[in-house]
Amino acid sequence: MKRLITNLTFQVIVAIILGIVVGLYFKEFAATAQMISKIFISLITLLIAPIIFLPLYWA
């Protein structure tokens, strides 16, 4: 059982199923989830440029 839980494919499938269940039963959470996801994507794109260009500058 421990080997199944640590399997990445299993974790992704469980996350997809949980996302579908949350989407079906908690529709009012969609607006909040959209705001959280947009903020997360903005933070990731904010970090990409320094991660790529600072090692090139230091080298």
What is the dihedral angle through the alpha carbons of 49, 52, 56, 58, rounded to the nearest 10 degrees? 80
pLDDT of residue 4: 83
Q: For the chain, what are the domain ranges?
A: 2-58
| pLDDT per position as a tens digit, 10-27 | 999 999 999 999 989 998
Report if pTM > 0.95: no
For residue 3, CA distances in Å to 6, 7, 17, 45 come to 5, 6, 20, 34
